[in-house]
C-alpha cells in the first residue's frame, strides 16, 4: 500500500441488539475483500469489534430503549482503522483493570478477558468521551505482503 494512500470512511449504523453484530461482521468482511486486506487482519478486527459491540450492547445502556451505534472503517497509510461511536455509559477500555491470570479459571471473577484480547490484537487503541458519546478507535497495522 502506498505511503500516501487514503480511502473514504465506510460506515454502518446498527441498533443496540446483539443480533446486529452479525451485520457488522459481514460488512467488515466485504470491506476487507474490496480493499484486498489480508484475512488475518480482517479476522482480528472482527474479533475486536465483536467484543467491543457485545460489551457496549450488554452493559452500556441503563434503559431498554433503542440506541444507535456507528462503526466507521477506513485505511490510512499502512493502518486499518475502526471507530465505534455509541451513547452508552462512559467506558474507556484502556483503563480496564487487568484480569488476574494467576488464579485458577474457576476462581476468577467473570469478565475482562475480552478487553485483554482487544489490546493484544490491535496495535493502537484510543478513546475519547465527546459530549454524550464514547468514541473508541482501533488501529491495526497492515503487514507488507511479499
Q: Specify the pLDDT at position 74.
A: 97
2 is a domain residue: no
Q: State the residue range of the domain holding 126.
A: 10-141
CATH number reported for the structural domain that contains residue 47 in this entry: 3.30.565.10
Q: Are 134 and 52 in contact (CB under 8 A)?
A: no
Q: What is the pTM of this model?
A: 0.84
115 is a domain residue: yes
Burial 99-137 (b: 16+ CB within 10 A, else e): beeeeeeeeeeeeeebbeebeebbeebeeeeeeeebebb
As a whole-number percent, the residues of the chain with pLDDT over 70 amount to 82
Q: Specify the pLDDT at position 94.
A: 86
Amino acid at each position: 500500500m502506498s505511503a500516501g494512500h487514503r480511502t473514504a470512511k465506510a460506515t454502518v449504523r446498527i441498533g443496540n441488539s446483539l443480533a446486529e453484530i452479525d451485520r457488522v461482521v459481514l460488512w467488515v468482511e466485504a470491506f476487507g475483500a474490496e480493499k484486498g486486506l489480508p484475512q488475518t487482519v480482517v479476522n482480528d478486527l472482527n474479533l475486536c469489534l465483536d467484543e467491543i459491540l457485545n460489551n457496549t450492547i450488554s452493559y452500556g445502556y441503563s434503559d431498554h430503549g433503542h440506541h444507535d451505534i456507528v462503526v466507521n472503517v477506513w485505511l490510512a497509510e499502512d493502518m486499518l482503522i475502526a471507530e465505534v461511536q455509541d451513547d452508552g455509559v462512559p467506558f474507556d477500555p484502556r483503563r480496564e483493570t487487568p484480569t488476574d491470570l494467576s488464579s485458577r479459571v474457576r476462581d476468577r471473577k467473570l469478565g475482562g478477558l475480552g478487553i485483554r484480547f482487544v489490546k493484544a490484537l490491535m496495535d493502537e487503541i484510543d478513546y475519547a468521551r465527546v459530549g454524550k458519546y464514547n468514541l473508541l478507535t482501533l488501529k491495526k497495522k497492515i503487514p507488507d505482503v511479499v
